[in-house]
Structure 1
Amino acid sequence: MKRAFLLILLLLSTEASAEQVRIPWKGDYPHNSAKHWSKDRPYGSGFSKNFKNGAPEEFAEVQRDGELNAFIYPKDTKNPVPFVLVLHGCDGLSTLTKEWTQHVADVLNVQGSGALVLDSFTTRYVDRSCGPADLHWGRRRADDAYSALDYLIAKKLAKADEVYIMGYSNGATTALVSMTSQENDHRQHFAAAFAVAPGCSPSLQHSAVYTGPIVIFMGDQDDANDPKWCLELAQKKRSVPVQMIEYGGATHGFPVNAPAHDFMGWHLSYSPTAEKDMMQTNISAIKTKKFAKGVELR
């Protein structure tokens, strides 16, 4: 009961310390298609010109335009600063995810960076995208991320060349997609990506040409997203630095401070050591703009 009360207070303080905004969604790019979701190609694309494209998670609804909810920390930024776009996982902005994004924002703010937490699901009335839909929604949400990037730059909140994308789970898959050459038709681009426990499926990593630095963080006990696929991704020769940092004994839930539990058959448990190291690595990269290649065990 005490923990629940404290959590409610935390979430209320989170909402009070952030500025909630609505971001116009943009999807009319050459790499996207006007075709609706079809059972004949259930998750074959995900690149859509429609805000809602008729996927099962959207209850088959199609909608051309839309807006996304977002939370900006700190809310009183007066001059452009480095910014990190933070993306939730396949279960949306759940209570635990809100707590995690608040923590990420707090750590970044102390170090002089802003944070924008983007909600891809609420205004689409999507509950979750876990399972086979993961890559489909990773692709769908890439345009969400770029819509937020354009917003930050247009509002002069962020330095145009210092906006980073950081996602957890499906949000991390989105971060990887956002750094591919397929997204080059966007006018603005992310400085680098921090992908936390992404799905590095072969259909993504075998053909991907990345356009900027990427750091992947995985637990070697992740049973939701196979670490070996991310290992293959990081080991492939590329023109930009791609690094995988693997934490021994860590599960898919290593960055989220919550009691150990199972979710959809996956075991999730918090690793404060791995989580702290991950945030320190990100902050160092933002400050120094230095990125490594290859695989590192920690």
Structure 2
Amino acid sequence: MRLLLTALLVLSFDAAQAEPTEVKIPWKGDYAHNSSKHWSKDNPYDSGFSKNFKNGTPQEFGEVQKDGELNAFIYSPKDAKGPVPFVVVLHGCDGLSTLTKEWTQHVADVLNAQGIGALVLDSFTTRYVDNSCGLADLHWGRRRADDAYSALDYLIDKKLAKTDAIYLMGYSNGGTTALVSMTTQEADHPHHFAAAFAVAPGCSPSLQHSAVYRGPIIIFMGDQDDANNPRWCYELAKKKRSVPVQMIEYQGANHGFPVNAPAHEFMGWHLSYSPTAEKDMMQTVVSAIKTKKFAKGVESR
């Protein structure tokens, strides 16, 4: 009887988990803000605004490819009827690693329980990129913005998402991408994100301080982050802007705060889970999507 009960509990737990639908998303990059200039060591960042799916970076082994497609995993809320609010979720510099897959599954479960869909986007597999880890990567932040917009267009084309209720959420390099995606430089896309949630992003001055944003942004950051400098995000959020940009800084948390994994080091960065900060972050994201209310400035939690 105990074995049967255990089996039933396992089956019940598995049934409660969102089962994603894997899809291929056509990549779109033929926009006025992009160019056909290939990556070079003399021009490592501007070439991020590229009309090429592969643009010759070292991570791509120098290959250039005009067209391509991206893998994505769609988690729709149970019993969803018609278009619903959706969040496009972006991985960090190490791609969809095992830990990142677990994190994105968790994000999807939390969102789905609130009637919100999630599309987890894989920027690296179809480009045969292992990772882009290192200094805050402006090139890949820019390249992946068009990935995010390709996913947004897909959700609209397939009538899965409400056109005015598609949000962007990215972790680490994905967070940097979320910031880039909200700039007016990306305004030539036909559709736009309602807001962005940037988790532990790179807010380097060369990337963001002169940026003009076209929609609300919430930055979630640990004050002990030694991978991306919290001070730069603080300065970004403090700058006067025409749209709400808020930084929520978690005390005692580091770069790994949203990912439920044992404490460890990666690339010399300290990574450890903060369940309190992670729970607060997800509650804040859900609340912002449901109320459409966004604040400005810096808040310490």
**TM-score, L = length of structure 2:** 0.93
Cα 1:14–1:59 change in 2 (3 A) is farther
The one of 38, 54, 57 equivalent to 1:36 is 38
The one of 148, 154, 165 equivalent to 2:168 is 165
Deviation at 1:42, TM superposition (A): 2.0
The one of 18, 21, 35 equivalent to 1:19 is 21
Cα 1:295–1:75 change in 2 (3 A) is closer
Deviation at 1:206, TM superposition (A): 1.9
* Structure 2: distance between partners of 1:198 and 1:133: 8
1:56 and 2:76 matched: no
Cα 1:89–1:43 change in 2 (3 A) is same
Stretch deviating more after TM superposition (92-101 or 74-83): 74-83
Q: Which amino acid aligns with 2:73?
A: F
Alignment of 1:226-245 (within 5 A): 226-245=229-248
Unaligned runs of 5+ residues in structure 2 are 1-10
Deviation at 1:15, TM superposition (A): 10
The one of 209, 214, 237 equivalent to 2:212 is 209
Unaligned runs of 5+ residues in structure 1 are 1-8
Cα 1:244–1:141 change in 2 (3 A) is same
Alignment of 1:1-298 (within 5 A): 17-74=19-76, 77-132=80-135, 134-298=137-301
Cα 1:133–1:243 change in 2 (3 A) is closer
Deviation at 1:75, TM superposition (A): 7.6
* Structure 2: distance between partners of 1:183 and 1:20: 27
Structure (1 or 2) with the larger CA radius of gyration: 2
The share of aligned pairs that are identical, in percent, is 83
**TM-score, L = length of structure 1:** 0.94
* Structure 1: distance between partners of 2:83 and 2:265: 41
Deviation at 1:43, TM superposition (A): 2.6
The answer to whether the 8 A contact 1:18-1:75 is kept is no
Which ranges of 4 or more aligned residues in structure 1 deviate by more than 4 Å? 12-16
Cα 1:171–1:278 change in 2 (3 A) is same
SS at match of 1:108: helix
* Structure 1: distance between partners of 2:256 and 2:64: 33
Q: Which amino acid aligns with 1:235?
A: K
